[in-house]
Structure 1
Amino acid sequence: MLGAAASRRAVAIPRTLAHRHHQHAFSFSTRSIPSILRSRPTGAPTSLLRSVQPTTIQTRPISFAQRMKRGYQEASRGIWRNNPILLPLALLSVATATAIFSYIAYKEATEVGPQYHKFPPPVAERLRTAIYYTDVKLNPVKAIDAYSEAIKLATELHMHPYSDEVMGIRLQVSKCLEMAGLVPAAIQVLEKTRADAYHWVRTRMETEAFKNGESDYFFARGPSAEKGELAAGPMKVDPAIAETYEKMKEAEIYEYGQVEKTLAKVVGMSIKLAELYKSDYIQDDQKAEEALEFAVQLSLGEVQRRHQAKLPIGGGNWMTLTEIGTALSELGQHYASQGKLDLSLPLYLRAFDLINANEGGTPSCKQVTLMYNISACIGNPALDGVSPSSDPGVSRAEAIEATRKWAQGAIERAAKVEPSEESVECDYSCAAAKVMLGQLAVFHNKPEEALKYYYEGKDIYDRIEALSDAEDVSRLIKDLEKKKK
C-alpha cells in the first residue's frame, strides 16, 4: 500500500526539467509559448506551477540591410575557409592592377599629356601614333607616315611653319630615321630642314629693324614706350583698332622671338649633322668640318650683331653663352682630332671664356675639360720642340710654363666640382692633366715627380674603367723606371 501511494505521488509532481526543455525549444520563436504549455496540469500544486511559469520573449524583425550584412559575413567566412590561397592571390592581383593603372594615369597626366597640349587635337593624335612607332615600337615606315600627316594637318590649321612645335616634328623625323639605322636618310632630312630654316631666318634678318634690334620686342620694355603711352593717354582710340594693333604687336614680338629660336636651332642642327657625318655609317670628316664651321660662323656672327645692337650676347630666345661655347669646343675638338692644334687652341680659349662667364666662375666639368684641352694644345707641340703656330712669338719655355698652369688649374678646379652624372668626364680630364704634368716633370728631369703624377693618373683611369688609357700610362711608367735604372 505504502509503495503504491508513493508512486502515485511521484507521478502527480510535474517534471520541471521536461518543462524547461520545452521552454528552451521554443525560446527562438517569434511567437509566445503555446497555450498547451500554459495550462495548469491536473492535481499540480499552485506554488510549483508559478515557479516554472514561462515568460514571453519579445523580438524585433531584422531589416533587409541587416539580413544582407549577415549574409555577406557568412559568405565571406565561407570564402576564406574554402579558398585560403586563391583569395589572397586574387586580392593581390587586383591591388597590383589598380596600382599599375594609377601609375599610367599619373604619367599620362604629368608627363605625356603636357607634351601635346600645345598642338591642336588632330595633330596631337597623329603625333601620339608617330611617337609610339618611334620610342615604343620602332617602325620607321609607320612613324614617318604619321609625322607627315601631322605636318600636313599643322599646315592646314595655320600653325607657324617655324614654331617650336612644327620644327620639333621635323626634327623628330630625322631622329626616327637615325634610330632605325637609316643615317643617310636622316642626314638628308636634317639638311633640308636646316636649309629651309636658315633661308627663312636670313629673310627676316635682312630688315634694318632686326639688324639694329629695333623691334617692339625691345621698345615695349624701354622708356620710349612709357613716353608714348603717356602722350597717347588723352586720345580716344577705337577699341577695335586698339585690339588689332595689339595683335599685330604680339605677332611681331612672336616673329622676332622665333627668328632667334630658329637661328639657335640651325646651329644645333649643324652640330648634329657633324656628328652624323663623323659616325661609322658615313665617316666623312670633310663634311663634318664644314657643318661645324658653319655652326661657329653663325654663332660668332650673331654674337657680333647683338653686341653692336647693345643686346645681351647670350640668353633669352638665343643661345646661352654655354651653348655658344659648346659649339666652339666641338669645332676645336674636331681640329684637334686631325692634328690642327693651332686651329683648335683659339676655339678652346674662347669657349672657356664664354662658359666660365656664363657659370659665374662656379667650377664645372666643362671648364675642367676645356682647361686640359688648352694645356694639351700648348704642351704637346712644346714637348715635341715645336712653337705654337697660333702665337709664334711664344718661346718653348713659356709654352711649357703655360701648359703647367693650365693643367694644374684643371686639377684644382676638378677637386671643387660637385659630384654629378658628369663626374666621369671630369675625372677623365683630371687624370689626363696629371699625366700631362708627369710628362712636363720628365722634361725637367724630375723622374720621381713624374712617377707620382703617372701613378695618380693611372689610379683614376682604373677607377673610371678607362682601360686603354690606363695601359698607355703603364707603358710610360715602365719606360721611366727603366731609364732610372
Structure 2
Amino acid sequence: MAASRITACRAIDRLCLRQAIRPPAASSTAFRISSPSSAIKVCRSVQLRHQSTAKDSNNGLKKSNLPPPPPPPPTIRQILRALSLRTLLTSLTPSGMKKMFKDSPEEFVLAMVILAGLAGVSIYIIKLYFDYFQARQFTKYPPPIAKSLRRALYYTNISPDANLARKYYKQALEQCNELQMDPFSDDVLGIRIQTAAWLEKIGNYQGAITVLDSVMKDCIRWVEWFEKSVADGTVDKSGKPPAVEVLSQDQRPTVVDEEETIPENLWRKRTRLLAKAVGTSTKLGALYSDEHVLEPENAQARLTWAVETALSESRRRHKEGVKKDEGPWMSPEEIGGAMESLAQHYESKSQFHLAVPLYFQALRLCANPCHRVTIMNNLAVAFAQHPIQPSLEVIPNAPSTSNVLVNPEMPTDRAGFLDAAKNWARNAYSHSRDVKGDERTEECDEACAVALTNMGDIAALLGKKEDARRRFQQAIEMSKRIGFGPGVAQAEAGLQKL
C-alpha cells in the first residue's frame, strides 16, 4: 500500500509540474495528497481541466485563420536554376505554355507580346547588319571605302543629314582615287550616280545634273579615246587590257570565294561605258524636263543623243558583227524606253507629230503587256491632237528613226486622226482587260481607267456627248474602285467640259 501511494504521489508531482508551466487559467487548482482517493480525484480534476479549455481551442481556431507567413526570398541558386536554359526550353514547350497560361493568363499574354516585340527588333537589327556591313554593295569595296559608304548611306536613309552625307560621299570618292581604283569601273561610277540620286532626293536638282553630266562626259571621253587608239594602232584591236598594278592586301576588297576577278576586255568596257552614257543622258533629259528645272532645249538634246547613239551602235553591230568579248548591247526594252522618253518630251511640247513615230517604235520594242497598254494610250492622245500635214513630208529635228515610220498609211485629215485615236483607245481598253494572272499589275488597272477617259475625250471631240458622258462615268467608277485619284480628276474634268 505504501508503494502504491508513493507512485501516485510521483505521478501527481509530474502533473503539477506540467500544469505549472501552462497559463494561470489552467493551473489555479490546489492539490492535496492525503489519500489514494484524493489522488484519484485530483487526476480526474486535472483531466477535466485539460479537456474543458474552450478558450484555448477558440484561440487556436483564430490563429489558424490568420494568413500564412510570406515565403522566404529565393536564393541566388534558385534564381539561376529558374533562369537556366533547360527551364526556359521546358517553359516554351506546349505543355509548359499551357501551364503558364493557366496559372496567370494576363502575365502570359504580356510576356508573349514582349517576346514578339523583342524578336521583331532583333530581326530588324540583323537585317540592318547584313544590309550595311555584309551586303555585296559594300564588300566589293576596300574596307576604308566601304566604311565611308556605310556612313553616307546611313545619313541618307536612316538618319538624314545633308552635311554628313555629302562629307562621306566625297570622302569615299577621294579614297577611291587614293587607292587607285579604276575611275571607270561600275563601283566608282556607282558612287557618283548614287551621289546624284541623293542630291535629287534632297531637292538639289542642279547638283544632280552637274554630277550626272560629268559622269556622261567622262564615259564619252573614254569611248572616244579608245576608238581613236584602235584606229591609230596604239591599242590592240582585240581589246586586250594592259597590265594592272596589284593592290596591297589591306587595300583589296573583300571578295567571295566563288567570285573571280577577270580583267575586263577593252571592247567590253567600251560597251559598258557607252551604255552607261546613254542611260545617264536619258536621266539628264528627265531632270531637265522636271518642273523644278524646265530647260526643254537641254532635255531634247540629251534625249535625242541617247536615242541616236543607241540606234547607231545597234546598226554598227548589225553591219560589222559583234567583236569577241564585246558583250551584249542594250536590250530592245531599254532602247524602247529611251525612245518613249523622247516621245513624252515631244508630247509635253505639243509636238505630237514627232511623238507618234517614236511611240510606234517603243510599242514594237516593249515586251511588258501592261506597259504596252500605256503606250497605246499615249498613241491615242497623240493622234487626237496630231496636226494636219502631208504624209510624206520629212519631219525636221527628229531622230533618224522617225522618218522611217512616215508612210502613206498615216492619216492626212482631222477625221482620220480622230478615228486612229479612237481605235488606239479601244485597243488599250481591250488589251488591259485581257491581261490576267501574274502579268497583271497596277499599271494595267490604271491604264484601263485612262483608256476609258481617252475614249470619252475622243467622243466629245466627235460631238457624241452621250457616249462621252457614259465613258467618263465608267472611268470615274473604275478609278474610285482601284483608288486612282488622277483618273477620277481627269474624268470629272471631262464631264465639266460637256
TM-score, reference length from structure 1: 0.65
Q: What per-residue deviation string (whole Å, max 9, x for no partner) do you get for residues 141-189 of structure 1?
A: 3323322222232233332211111001111222232233322222222
- Alpha-carbon distance between aligned partners in 2 of 1:297 and 1:68, rounded to the nearest angstrom: 80
Give the letter for the 1:328 counterpart. M
SS in 1 for 2:189: helix
Deviates more, 1:391-400 or 1:177-186: 391-400
2:124 to 55, 78, 103: 103
- Alpha-carbon distance between aligned partners in 1 of 2:435 and 2:306, rounded to the nearest angstrom: 29
Q: CA deviation at 1:430?
A: 2.6
Q: Which residue of 2 is the match for residue 470 of structure 1?
A: 491
Q: Which residue of 2 is the match for residue 374 of structure 1?
A: 379
Give the letter for the 1:437 counterpart. M
2:312 to 295, 301, 323: 301
Kept in 2, the 8 Å contact 1:216–1:252? The answer is no
**Are 1:403 and 2:421 an aligned pair?**
yes
Seen in structure 2, the aligned counterparts of structure 1 residues 3 and 87 have a Cα distance that, compared at 3 Å, is farther
Q: Which residue of 2 is the match for residue 238 of structure 1?
A: none
Seen in structure 2, the aligned counterparts of structure 1 residues 414 and 205 have a Cα distance that, compared at 3 Å, is farther
**Are 1:191 and 2:213 an aligned pair?**
yes
Q: Which residue of 1 is the match for residue 455 of structure 2?
A: 437
Seen in structure 2, the aligned counterparts of structure 1 residues 142 and 68 have a Cα distance that, compared at 3 Å, is closer
Q: Which residue of 2 is the match for residue 55 of structure 1?
A: none
Structure 1 residues 334-483: aligned runs within 5 Å: 334-355=345-366, 359=367, 364-381=369-386, 391=406, 393=408, 394-396=411-413, 397-418=415-436, 423-441=441-459, 447-463=465-481, 464-466=484-486, 467-476=488-497, 479=498
Seen in structure 2, the aligned counterparts of structure 1 residues 209 and 331 have a Cα distance that, compared at 3 Å, is farther
Deviates more, 1:300-309 or 1:118-127: 300-309
Q: CA deviation at 1:92?
A: 7.3
2:164 to 127, 138, 142: 142
Unmatched runs of 5 consecutive residues or more in structure 1: 19-66, 218-248, 480-485
1:251 to 252, 260, 263: 263
Seen in structure 2, the aligned counterparts of structure 1 residues 111 and 133 have a Cα distance that, compared at 3 Å, is closer
Kept in 2, the 8 Å contact 1:201–1:263? The answer is yes
Q: What per-residue deviation string (whole Å, max 9, x for no partner) do you get for residues 95-119 of structure 1?
A: 7556524431244226752220111
Give the letter for the 1:108 counterpart. Y
Seen in structure 2, the aligned counterparts of structure 1 residues 72 and 192 have a Cα distance that, compared at 3 Å, is closer
Give the letter for the 1:266 counterpart. A
Q: Which residue of 1 is the match for residue 149 of structure 2?
A: 127
Q: Which residue of 2 is the match for residue 37 of structure 1?
A: none
SS in 2 for 1:149: helix
Paired positions, count: 375
- Alpha-carbon distance between aligned partners in 1 of 2:433 and 2:83, rounded to the nearest angstrom: 69
TM-score, reference length from structure 2: 0.63
**C-alpha RMSD of matched pairs (Å):** 4.3
Q: Which residue of 2 is the match for residue 155 of structure 1?
A: 177
Q: Which residue of 1 is the match for residue 90 of structure 2?
A: none
Identity percentage of aligned residues: 29
- Alpha-carbon distance between aligned partners in 2 of 1:413 and 1:209, rounded to the nearest angstrom: 54
Seen in structure 2, the aligned counterparts of structure 1 residues 95 and 424 have a Cα distance that, compared at 3 Å, is closer
2:190 to 164, 168, 176: 168
